[in-house]
Chain A
């Protein structure tokens, strides 16, 4: 059985799943719109959570939050379920497919056979849509892939029950109740205000303050951790910022697209101007990635300390720019 579902590629998996499921249900909502209304943009440094032997630096809200906020703000209801038993999880999936309902699944990346080996890490917060089943093979729309793909039921069970941090536990979700018309305007304002609040959070690990904290750390890393580890950590920042899913510049470009679309919708010229500024900030993040890569490209142990100072300074100027930016954005809505 194959549900008539249209696959649209997106930059990020969660936004993509939401946007594709909304489109399937007759609501044209773009990926940036989902991301912006769901207050996806963030910066957060999580020193105690280690991935691949380096701390986590995230440029987005926690998995699941974007969809939940989006749903609440535009007035749709989302059904979510987790399972301890794979057979029950499979049964629920099959029931939905039989009822012609494509569903979102949270999965682990490590056993996704259609990913290149190089990208297969133990990362458990990936999202995809299942839109059908033919014999023992599930039809998969993975939003970060250009084309649709398939997984056998054994493969799908493996990724649904991946273990480790943020284990998906068979997590299945789909929108259930829709309003007659989506209230995008008020949702946009709420989404923007939430993001402004997050970015100005008075905590040293979050938002603009988090960026400044990391800049300070980068200055210390080569002396404190040694060049090898410092470069490993710097590489981790760039990967979290640019690896598949962020749309470039640590989600800043997606956010720029959201501001532009919102500016049109709300007839707010200020938002359109701020979209241009967001793009410039995205470009600064790209420069930061480029300069950082010049450091870790060099595998020797003799890298001048002032190189780290340079990228740290770049990061501080980004923090200052974003600080001013989110103040202006808060006033614009």
Chain B
């Protein structure tokens, strides 16, 4: 890649006033570095991945409202987690977390367990119990 070809497309890096460093070749063929504000091919890939997460959150929200899952699954998706990550944060087995997805089990969870989840999701126990609207 030539130094003057280093892409300067839009990306969310602009939001935090940063650019990323790329390696490129100058006109004499010597390697140098150049800052890049972003590149569309990877921005599209990132946007698609985020869109998929949004979809998963929305699907979980609808399932909570329909009474087929507990708010834990919704907040898990909202925090971009999966079962493995959530289980290691709260310190339960994966199958235990999965059980807590059941609304009937969730209703009976002790405050201590609820507090663990609430802490990981950075919300209050009430917010966790109320779930998404």
Q: Which residues of A contact B (CB under 8 A)?
A: 9-11, 32, 52-53, 110, 114-122, 144-147, 163-165, 167, 231-232, 235-236, 238-239, 242-244, 247-249, 253-254, 256-257, 260-261, 275-276, 279, 282-283, 286, 289-290, 292-293, 296-297, 299
Chain B residues near A167: list those with CB within 8 A.
88
B45 and A247 contact, CB distance less than 8 A: no
**B82 nearest CB neighbor, chain A only:** A53
| Contact yes or no, B31 A122, CB < 8 A | no
User: With A247-B21, A253-B1, A296-B45 in contact, is A118–B12 under 8 Å at CB?
Assistant: yes
CB distance from B85 to the nearest CB of A (A): 4
Chain B residue at minimal CB-CB distance from A285 = B1
Cα–Cα, bound, A145→B15 (Å): 13
Is B93 interfacial (CB-CB < 8 Å)?
no
Listed A/B pairs (11) with beta-carbon separation below 8 Å: A53-B82, A116-B13, A116-B15, A165-B85, A167-B88, A244-B13, A248-B22, A248-B36, A279-B25, A293-B42, A297-B44
Residues of A within 8 A of B45 (CB): 235-236, 238-239, 293, 296
Give the residue name and chain of the A residue nearest to B15 (CB). A116
* 3 smallest beta-carbon distances between A and B, as pairs: A293-B41, A235-B45, A257-B31
Complex contacts, A235 vs chain B, CB 8 Å: 44-45, 48-49
Report chain A residues within 8 Å CB of B20.
Answer: 11, 144, 244
Closest-by-CB residue of B relative to A235 is B45
Tell me the bound Cα distance from A214 to B12 in angstroms.
29
Inter-subunit contact B23/A9 (CB<8 Å): no
Q: Does B95 belong to the interface (CB within 8 Å)? A: no
A149 CB to closest chain B CB (Å) equals 9
Query: How distant is A241 from chain B, measured CB to nearest CB, in Å?
Result: 8
Contact of B80 among A121, A256, A279, A296 (CB under 8 A): A121
| Residues in B whose Cβ lies below 8 Å from that of A257 | 23, 31
Evaluate contact between A254 and B15: CB separation under 8 angstroms. Answer: no
Instruction: Check A248–B46 contact: CB distance below 8 A.
Output: no
Minimal Cβ-Cβ distance residue in B for A294: B41
Cβ-closest chain B residue relative to A144: B20
In the complex, are the beta carbons of B12 and A119 less than 8 A apart? yes
Interface pair B44/A296, CB less than 8 Å apart? yes
